[in-house]
């Protein structure tokens, strides 16, 4: 994490500027860069030939036309897995706005139209090259925020995704906490392994998937630098759900930063409007950062 004032709050472009352009496309990343997000997120899943692909799911069906191009490549469960396709095959797919796999309808119907796109998948290396290139041409220092997706699934398939990703990050100059890279993972055993066994010196964020109190925070603080809870996990139960619980304060006592997910202008349950949610997250409970599909709105809010 590059040095910022302790009071500075970071804005992470969640899957890019994904509120405007289909998630994890290079177009959504360049838009997020132009909007001056502090970090741009990459969810990572390996291809058959071990290339880290920037995609949220281990499946392809929600965001690509895989079913029409490769109808015979699904597994017994009817799903198309990224890990069954080579990088060259993945490059032939078109990427669309996210759909619900069962209903085939857009998850966010007011976002980018479903049928008007010729977007493509890409690798971690390709995305880093675009972000580093834009940093050079614009004079900015926008960071990356990669996430190791489902390491145990990769292990079952005979692959060590963390090792592969760490080598690429190192090759591109991301090695120390002061570098503009934060590595995240939901799997606590894997993130601890990344720090202790794989000797990673990057700033690490332990994502929290399920509601939990502060009982594991000390453990997380022994290897991670931040936690990443959902907004829901920060709400005090039974208080009309707009009051915060003590998780952020307890994390801060242990010197852990807190980067919460996901701030969405078009989805803010429990809060009347997006501004109320931003006020709650960034000021009432004092988050250090947040993942958002709408980086421009959050940046403007923080400026004001
Ligand atoms: O990684 C933090 C944030 O992205 C939330 O998780 O499910 O969108 O990858 P997810
Ligand atoms: Ca993520």
What is the tally of structural domains in the chain?
A: 1
Bridge partners of 204? 183
Query: β-strand 10-13 against 182-185: which pairing, if any?
Result: unpaired
Domain, as residue range, for 18: 10-58+123-303
Q: Domain for residue 167, yes or no?
A: yes
- Is 216 catalytic? The answer is no
Q: Domain for residue 223, yes or no?
A: yes
Q: Domain for residue 115, yes or no?
A: no
**Catalytic residue of the set 56, 122, 154, 259:** 56
pLDDT interval class at 210 (50, 70, 90): confident
Q: Is 260 helix (H, G, I), strand (E, B) or coil?
A: strand
Question: Does 184 contact ligand 1 (Cβ within 6 A)?
Answer: yes
Q: Domain for residue 4, yes or no?
A: no
- Is 122 catalytic? The answer is no
Question: Does 207 contact ligand 1 (Cβ within 6 A)?
Answer: yes
List, for residues 99-136, the tens digit of each pLDDT value.
999 999 999 999 999 986 789 999 999 999 999 999 99
- Kindly report the CATH number assigned to the domain that includes residue 285: 3.20.20.190
Distances (CA, A) of 126 to 29, 58, 64, 122, 123: 11, 19, 19, 6, 5
The overall pTM is greater than 0.95: yes
Confidence at residue 22, expressed as pLDDT on a 0 to 100 scale: 98
Task: Say if CB 200 and CB 194 are below 8 A apart.
Answer: yes
- Report the C-alpha gap between 63 and 51 in whole angstroms: 18
Q: Domain for residue 258, yes or no?
A: yes
């Amino acid at each position: 994490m590059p040095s910022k004032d302790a009071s500075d709050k970071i804005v992470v472009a969640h899957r890019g500027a994904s509120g405007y352009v289909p998630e994890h496309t290079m177009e959504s990343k360049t838009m997020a860069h132009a909007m001056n997000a502090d970090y741009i997120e990459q969810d990572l899943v390996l291809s058959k030939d071990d290339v880290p692909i920037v995609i949220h799911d281990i499946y392809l069906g929600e965001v690509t036309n895989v079913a029409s191009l490769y109808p015979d490549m699904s597994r017994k469960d009817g799903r198309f897995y990224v890990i069954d396709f080579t990088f060259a095959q993945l490059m032939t797919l078109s990427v669309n706005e996210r759909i619900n796999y069962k209903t085939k309808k857009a998850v966010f119907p007011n976002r980018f139209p479903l049928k008007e796109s010729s977007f493509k998948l890409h690798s971690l290396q390709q995305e880093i090259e675009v972000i580093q290139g834009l940093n050079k041409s614009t004079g900015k220092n926008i960071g990356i925020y990669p996430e190791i997706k489902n390491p145990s699934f990769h292990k079952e398939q005979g692959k060590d995704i963390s090792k592969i990703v760490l080598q690429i990050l190192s090759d591109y100059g991301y090695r120390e906490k002061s570098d503009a890279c934060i590595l995240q993972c939901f799997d606590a055993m894997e993130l601890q392994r990344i720090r202790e066994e794989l000797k990673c010196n990057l700033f690490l964020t332990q994502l929290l998937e399920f509601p939990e109190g502060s009982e594991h925070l000390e453990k997380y603080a022994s290897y991670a630098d931040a936690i990443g809870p959902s907004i829901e996990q920060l709400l005090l139960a039974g208080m009309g759900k707009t009051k915060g619980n003590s998780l952020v304060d307890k994390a801060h006592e242990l010197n852990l930063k807190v980067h919460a997910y996901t701030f969405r202008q078009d989805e803010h349950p429990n809060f009347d409007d997006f501004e109320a949610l931003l006020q709650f997250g960034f000021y009432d409970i004092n988050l250090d950062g947040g993942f958002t599909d709408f980086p421009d709105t959050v940046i403007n809010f923080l400026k004001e």
